[in-house]
Structures are given as C-alpha cells and as structure tokens.
Amino acid sequence: MNRKLLKSNSFEVSATLPIVSIILGLFTVATSFGETPTNASGFADIFETIKREASPEELYAFLYDMPKGGDLHHHHGGSNIPESWYQVATDPQRNGGQYYYTRYRIMNCGEELPPPGLRGGSGSLMYWVNINKRSWITLSDCEQSEYKPLEDLTEKERQAWMSSIVLDRPGEGQNEFFEYHWSRLNHIFSNPYLMAELLVDNMKRFGAEGLHYFEPQINVFRYHDKEGNPITPHEVYEIYKERINRPDALATGVTVRCQLTILRFLPNSPDHVAGAFDFIDKHRDLWRGINLAGREDNEKGHPRRFTEAFDNALRQYPGIGISIHAGEENEPSEHIADTLRLGATRIGHGVNLIEDRDTMNLMRTGKFFVEINLISNELLGYVDDIAEHPFPVYLRQGIPVCLNTDDRGMWDSNMTDEFFVAVTNFNLSWEEIVLMGNYSLEFSFAQSDVKKQLLESFQRDLESFAKKYSGGDWRTPLKSVKPVTYGYGKNHLGLKL
C-alpha cells in the first residue's frame, strides 16, 4: 500500500461548515461546530504527533476508537461480512425458519442451462450459488446432488463459500462483483427476516467502531416467506422496524434510516421510480431517500433516462431525499451533471467528477455532496492507485464529502479501514476528520430533530475522545482498545492485528 504521511498543512476548511448549516436550516447546531470542538481545540497537534509516531497498528486502533459520524453510502446486501451471512443463513432461529443449500460440485446434469438465478452473469454454471429448500426440492436427483445444506459444509468448503462473496483474489474486480457475487447470494437475499437480522449485526459491528448513523439501501420488493408466499413491501417495513427496536439493537446506540434503491439498467427501470417514491412517502419514519444503483456503463444505465420519471415524482412528493450513484466510471461522462438534474443533492462515488470542470465548480458551492468510497473504488478498479483518488481534491476545494463503506462485506473491510486509507494516503488533519463527520450527519436524510441529536452526540463523543488522548501520553489509553479488522485490513493493509 502506498503510505504517504505528508507534512501537515494548516489549511483551514472548517469555515465552510456554517454555510452548509444555514443552507440546511441547522441554525441551532451551526455555531457548535463552526470550529473544532472546545475540548478538542488543541487536539489537532496531538493528532499530528500520533500520525508521526504511531505504528500502523497503533494508528488503526486509534482510528477504530475514534467517534465517526455517518456511513451514507451503504448497500445492505453488500455490507455483511461473510461470517455473518453464514451464521444467520444457517440458523433458522434467526432467519425466519429457512434452510439453504449451496452448490459445492457440478455434475453436468443436463444439456439445458439452469434458470437465471442459478447461473453466473456469463450464463455459465457456478459454484456456491445458494438456493432455499423450497427450490432445492424441485430439482432432479442429479441436480440435488450438486448441493449441500449450508450447515453441512466442511471447514474447507465453508472457507471457499465465504471467499466466493469477497473480492479477495488477484484478478477479481468489476466483473466478479457485479456479475457473480450478487447472483451467488441469490435466495439468501430474498428473506427479510434474515436481512433484518443482518442489519442488527451491522449495527453492533459499526457501533463498536464508533459510528453514530448509517443509511443502508434496502430493497423491500419481491420478498417471499418460506412457503413461497409473497411478503408485501409494507410487511417488510414492519419486519425491519420490529427488529431494529429490540433491546440488542437499541443498545448499539447506532441510528439507522434507510434508502430505497432502483436497479438502473433494467428495461423498465424508470417505471419503478413512482412506486419507490410512493413507498418512501408512506414509510417516512424509517425510509428517507431514493437511489439508483447498478452499472452506469450499461447501455441502459445512464441517468438522463430517468428525467421524466423523477420530474413526475417531484410534482407529487415533497421532502424525499435523492442520492444517486454517478461518476463511478473509468471514463469521463456527463452523468453527474445529468444526475443533479434529476434532483440529487448527493452523488454516490463521483470518481469522474474531477474530469467535469463546470459540475465540479458548481459542487463547490456547498449545496451538493459526494459520498466517497475509497476501498470500493480501489478494488473495483475505478482508480489505478488509491493515492491518485480525487477525494482529497474535492475535500480541499470545499466540496462536502464523507467516507463510506459501500459494499464492505464484499471487500471484507470496515469503516476504520476507510479512515486508515484516507489518513495514510492523504494526510487528513483532525479538522478535516471532524468536518467530514459533521458533513455526514448534516447531509444525511434523517429527520431534522434526529439529525440535531446525532450532531450533538457526535460532538460530545469527540470531546470525550479528545480528552481521553490529551493527557500527554496517548499510548496508555490506546492499550485498552481492541480493534477488529477483517480480510482487507490484514491482507491489503498488512496490519498485524
């Protein structure tokens, strides 16, 4: 990994915050974070000392312990670490009574290709595709013999199964991710009880690394129960709502609000916009925004195709957040400009914004936000080298940004990894870390009273954190921190944790 701890510069960025606060109507909190927290005001120098003197493992522990604002770009289906998928999918007590089978060998049972759910993107048969018991029963004897109950995998098979949903091998990138990972998970996705359980698993894991808020993109359509009966979108909402209000979820202290995402490249994708707005409108306590996801480089994936559908929805529905993936591309395009035209105030990724002069200058007004996903862009090859990522240019030109995890389950990473990569490659200052945390909460789609509480609790936690490490000996408090890292931290960052 390219680790560049440059000499600190004293560039003042926090002055832009009150402007954003005024735009968003957050007068009450604007003054409280127009500058770095009172107790943390001298902390910038201590942070510089830590960056200079800490070992990578110490810096990681520090960043793990550090309070974090919100994770605004977070696909629920891609955000679960493989161990959690396996645990919940093999535990009928936690997944609504379902049993899953996975293809562990290929017997060439017939001439015909299996149905789309059982194939990879190229149409070929693939290993480790998961089906529910109801589907397994309908297969021929030969086909059934290709599958094993998930809970019966040997340890070696279990490791291969987990690896099949992570970008962990040389050469795996966009194709493996877009065409195979999601197809392999297959029926495991279509169980809202299991997915709600995993949401709480993530509340616990993210809460442990100091995150205050996240905004998962969660599907509510096309779910079925174990008998195959459809579960309505409203029932899906009820399932999630009940689960995140149980004591173990509340104890995490993490606030969750959701987005509904439309796959952008289907033949009839624009027709889904009206239904998505309608669902969000009726479930505003939990669902707050809409998104478009999927390959932009698909011939049907471009944003201009959705203009009429969004205009029609905006004639009808007030106050629904619009965050849309745009500029997650290897080539320059007009996608970000076209996406702002749809009504988006937040752009997911924005990697090629740097090549669109006028739109970039427009976004420096502070009204628009870019959700940065460093590890995602690195592993999917949208940047050749993470050190060349445009993120610090956006940040230091005054475009509001924050760090996000995107599909961290498939990178086998966490929020701390994003901060570690940003600090070590781009020499983030303490002011910048605080600024991005505040931005992430201000630009969230949470209700304004929730947002205010989140900003206040984030501020309080930052002050206690600064106090904890301000005693002149930052190493002593760090000893009690037990950071959790996953495959990315161990293999890509080389951390010995």
Least distance to Zn ion, CB of residue 335, Å: 14
Cβ pair 36, 462 in contact under 8 A: no
Token pair 């670490």: residue: 81
Question: Hey, what amino acid is at 245?
Answer: N
Helix (H) or strand (E) run with residue 458 in it:
helix 448-468
Cβ pair 131, 147 in contact under 8 A: yes
Identified catalytic residue from 328, 329, 378, 418: 328
Question: Hey, what amino acid is at 138?
Answer: T
Task: Return the number of other C-beta atoms located less than 10 Å from residue 66's C-beta.
Answer: 22
Q: With CB under 5 A, what is the number of residues at the site for Zn ion?
A: 1
CA distance 53 to 474: 10
Least distance to Zn ion, CB of residue 185, Å: 16
* Beta-sheet strands, E only, within 296-391: 321-326, 346-349, 369-372
The nearer residue to Zn ion, 406 or 418, going by C-beta atoms, is 406
> What is the per-residue binding string for Zn ion in 372-411, x denoting contact by CB under 5 A?
----------------------------------x-----
Q: Reply yes or no on whether 155 is catalytic.
A: no
> What is the per-residue binding string for Zn ion in 404-443, x denoting contact by CB under 5 A?
--x-------------------------------------
Nearest residue to Zn ion, scored by beta-carbon proximity: 406
Least distance to Zn ion, CB of residue 66, Å: 24
Least distance to Zn ion, CB of residue 75, Å: 5
Using CB atoms within 10 Å of the CB of residue 355, give its burial: 0 to 12 exposed, 13 to 18 middle, 19+ buried.
Answer: middle
CA distance 200 to 254: 10
> What is the per-residue binding string for Zn ion in 339-378, x denoting contact by CB under 5 A?
----------------------------------------
Least distance to Zn ion, CB of residue 78, Å: 8
Helix (H) or strand (E) run with residue 314 in it:
helix 307-314
The nearer residue to Zn ion, 412 or 461, going by C-beta atoms, is 412
Which residues contribute to the site for Zn ion (CB under 5 A)? 406
Q: Which positions are catalytic?
A: 328
